[in-house]
Chains A and B, each alone.
Chain A
Amino acid sequence: MLHTTTKAHWLRVICGAMTGVLLSASLMVAASAQTPNNDDQTESRIAAAMAGLHRFQSSHSNDDLRATAHALFSAIDQRALRLGDVPRHRRSVVAAYAQLLAQIDGLSDPTFDRSELPMLCATPPREPNGGQLPACADPKDISDSATRAQYVAAIDANSVKIQRRNAQAALHLLGDETTSLLEIVLRRFHIRVPSDTAALDDILRRAGLSEARRSMIHSMF
């Protein structure tokens, strides 16, 4: 009897101790969930990446915008990331990309239509003798000076059009590149993280992005 009582007593002691250990461990886990994760440098990397956008304000170089897009892409420090921090980081990176895209879109000509393919060459006017050189002809082969001058003017106008188009093309390509990088970042967030669509859409709206741009990004959430 005494032996049994002793065993029961020790069992109670052991159980009590285990409960205490478990409780302490649970509290430690809960506490660790609230302590900052010093290994996670994501937020500081996002802030550092945005230096490129600040540089752009004085440099006006697309290279600074591209550098920002790429630096944001590599800002996610996933090896040190805790799942609970993902929503906060996702909002931060979306806000940063939205700011960058707002800058790119703000520089773009809204009338630029990328589906309109540029003309390779101008066509020379018909000469007084009835002849007409084909498109892309060399102006020096036009004997009539007035016709030649008219053709050179058409070539110059087409050149200006192409140069303007190329400048716009560079911005649109940069916008596409930035959007694709954001897409990959967001797809990586998809796994096992609750959606946060309303908050993310609000971030896009506050950044001043166009409806078309927001809609494109919204589909990635």
Chain B
Amino acid sequence: MRFGMALRRTISFGLALVFFTACSTSHTTSSAVPQHRTPSLVNTVQGGGGCTDIFGCPIGQLCWDGSEPDAFDGSCPPVPPTGGTSQPPPPGCSISAATLAVTPLPRNRATLGVGEQVGLVSADGSTWSVSGNGTLDTTSGGSVVFTAADTAGAATVTVSAKGCLAADVTYNIIAPSGLLYTALNGIKHTQGLADIGMRASVYLQPDSVSFKGLAYLELDAPVTATGPYLCLNGSGHSPNPNALVATQDDIVGLGTPIATDTVESGSCGGVDQLGNGSISLNIPQMYMVGLIGAQHQFSVVQHIATASTGALNITKGAASRSTTVSSPPSAY
């Protein structure tokens, strides 16, 4: 039996050495025996260094008692209490997490977008629970999927099992804070008219979480127009009634891509095209988690077009384009 264990250890050590040698990444692992496992997104394994997997779990090392780490996530058996009058409590249950959205990194971030999903794994896990803004797809077993609610707030996922202290992870869930508009190439213009238009890519912000899967739409807003745009005063901004679903991954520096917007002044035709005037409207923006979810307003985006002594300017959010009434005609 001892020979078998020794052989197993030798093989294990050999495997560990192979993993360790093959890995060039470095990481920091606590070598102290944990007394409590406070909310953590990374497993704690006692021992030396080595590679880490997707969760940051160490690879290729032995546990405190010389046994192999868990085959899946590298966690170790609970550390037994030592003698004496003040015995330390058992260690916390292992808990690891990775967002299902592949961006933004890190995948074990504690801030999530509304509706975002996280896969949670525990080597010890038998019972899971959640409090706050989110749900679990199941409450038992070694793995669960947490889904953030459709409104901002906090959620705590707790795993408990026999032989370890319950461990938890707290998530800060945020709603879209606004939209980033970036102007695309090209200006729409009809020569001789106070007519200007641009196209812009629209991103849900912030870029620190993923809003992939969120549906978005604009709501109605009345137009206030003066000068060469007077005929548009009081007209409606009738948005598309079909919400658009974000299907792309978050882009660092921009946000989650959601739509292409056509932003135009329109024109009244035969009136004085060189006078001063403007169009302005404040457009409420809505998001939904899924196409049948509740609508939540998160932003108002201002759309302004101005005409001043032949100069034309159009802006929506941070995007803008300029031309002049006399400029040659152009299209997107």
Q: Is A51 engaged at the interface, CB distance under 8 Å to the other chain?
A: no
Q: Is B35 engaged at the interface, CB distance under 8 Å to the other chain?
A: no
B273 smallest CB distance to A (angstroms) = 10
B121 touches A118 (CB 8 A): no
Which chain A residue shows the least CB distance to B332? A123
Residue contacts A-B, CB under 8 angstroms, 10 given: A26-B4, A117-B259, A118-B260, A120-B239, A136-B238, A159-B240, A166-B243, A181-B119, A181-B145, A184-B98
B126 touches A79 (CB 8 A): yes
A191 touches B262 (CB 8 A): no
A129 touches B270 (CB 8 A): yes
Chain B residues, Cβ within 8 Å of A181:
100, 119, 145
Chain A residues packing against B (C-beta within 8 Å)? 22, 25-26, 29, 70, 73-74, 76-79, 81, 83, 86, 114-115, 117-124, 127, 129-141, 155, 158-159, 162-163, 165-166, 169-170, 172-173, 176-177, 180-181, 183-185, 187-193
Separation of A187 and B331 alpha carbons in the complex (Å): 50
Which chain A residue shows the least CB distance to B145? A70
Separation of A133 and B145 alpha carbons in the complex (Å): 48
Separation of A17 and B241 alpha carbons in the complex (Å): 85
Separation of A122 and B12 alpha carbons in the complex (Å): 64
Separation of A58 and B232 alpha carbons in the complex (Å): 52
Chain B residues, Cβ within 8 Å of A132:
190, 195, 266-267, 269
B71, B141, B215, B238: the one within 8 Å of A191 (CB): B71
B119 touches A73 (CB 8 A): yes
A133 touches B266 (CB 8 A): yes
- Give 6 A-B pairs besides A78-B70, A117-B201, A141-B232 with Cβ atoms closer than 8 angstroms: A77-B141, A79-B124, A86-B71, A120-B202, A138-B238, A192-B60
B187 smallest CB distance to A (angstroms) = 14
B266 touches A192 (CB 8 A): no
Known pairs A136-B237, A166-B245, A188-B72; A176 contacts B100 (CB<8 A): yes
Separation of A114 and B267 alpha carbons in the complex (Å): 33
Which residues of B161-204 have CB atoms within 8 Å of chain A's CB atoms? 190, 193, 195, 197, 201-202
Q: Is B74 engaged at the interface, CB distance under 8 Å to the other chain?
A: yes
A187 touches B1 (CB 8 A): no
Separation of A181 and B121 alpha carbons in the complex (Å): 11
Separation of A173 and B248 alpha carbons in the complex (Å): 9
Which chain A residue shows the least CB distance to B221? A136
Q: Which 3 A-B pairs have the closest CB atoms?
A: A130-B269, A138-B236, A134-B266
